[in-house]
Amino acid sequence: MKKATPFIGMLLVIVAVFLFANIEGLLAEPAIDAEAFLQRIPHQTISFFGRELIITQPSSTILVFGLGILTISFGVFFFATHRDQESRRIWGIGLILWGLGTLFAGSSYQAFTYQLKCAGRDACLYTSRFEIAYLLLTCYSIACFMIATAHTSSQGNARRALIRFAYIDSVAYTVLVLIGAIIPIRFLISYEGFLILLGGNFVIMFVCVVLHYRRHRDVLNKRFLFIWVALLAVNIAYFAWLYSGVSQLLYDNWNVWFNENDCLHLLLVLWMIEILLMLKEPLKDLS
């Protein structure tokens, strides 16, 4: 029962977001109405149980849902092949949570963004409950990665401190997000806020890996170096594509929809494959 407590807490927090989030007054900036929103992006109208449903960014939806399912399946693999190694179990849980977060994100940022944020409104909303759930699930996923890093790249007091930090940090972020969703406060439930408040966690993990590898030159932490550097490269590519203007150029001139999120998700698919290939055999606890 004790091991189930964090997961019960996560579930209760997600339910609380869907029940109590007060985001109806947070409008998109700059303001945009439903009709103008649909004119900007590709969309498809389908019939669903007798009612019309607008699916936005169909190709992006396929890509992001594929990423989510792939990530969950890799997480199940690590969890099922734990070999009594805590790091494998926790990496598996972290990947499952990351994949679930991806599905929530894809539902709101891609597939059902019109339905969730624009349909029946004079102006589209800034965010949705699905997006807030995505932020929280990704936070919990990162906490799992930190705990797993404690088991693969640290020992003794350092391990205990890193695990304690992962729990405290995820609880603190949860409190901030709930405050941001209920009051509401735009920054606390924004992706920018997420990066500022949690981005440093990846730096902490990277430093732990570097310090351990410098002392021991082991294969596992060498591979972790490649994994975290690759994630940094993925994010650099995302921002490069975002500010390049290529997305709009492709859509305006050739009617090709491939934006910065598609770039990110495609590269994350490759990153997930890298994780599987590099960690499936050597991933184990540090004695």
The pLDDT of residue 109 = 97
Q: Give the whole-angstrom CA distance, residue 114 versus residue 52.
A: 12
The encoded tokens of residue 37 equal 């929103």
By CB atoms closer than 10 A (0-12, 13-18, 19+), residue 113 is: buried
Q: What is the pLDDT of residues 181-240, one digit of tens each?
A: 999 999 999 999 999 999 999 999 999 999 999 999 999 999 999 999 999 999 999 999
> Structure pTM?
0.96
Q: Which amino acid would we find at residue 242?
A: L
Question: Residue 176: left if φ>0, alpha if ψ -120 to 50, beta else—which one?
Answer: alpha
How is the chain split into domains, by residue range?
A: 5-279
CATH for the stretch 5-279? 1.20.1070
Summary mean pLDDT of the chain: 96
pLDDT at 99 over 80: yes
Backbone angles phi, psi at 47, to 5 degrees: -95, 125
Predicted pLDDT at 42: 96
The predicted model gives 144-161 an average pLDDT of 97
pLDDT surpassing 70 at residue 40: yes
- How confident is the model over 226-279, as pLDDT tens digits? 999 999 999 999 999 999 999 999 999 999 999 999 999 999 999 999 999 999
Task: Work out the average pLDDT over 4-22.
Answer: 94
Q: Amino acid identity of 11? A: L
Q: What is the pLDDT of residue 133?
A: 98
Quick one: pLDDT at residue 1?
Answer: 61
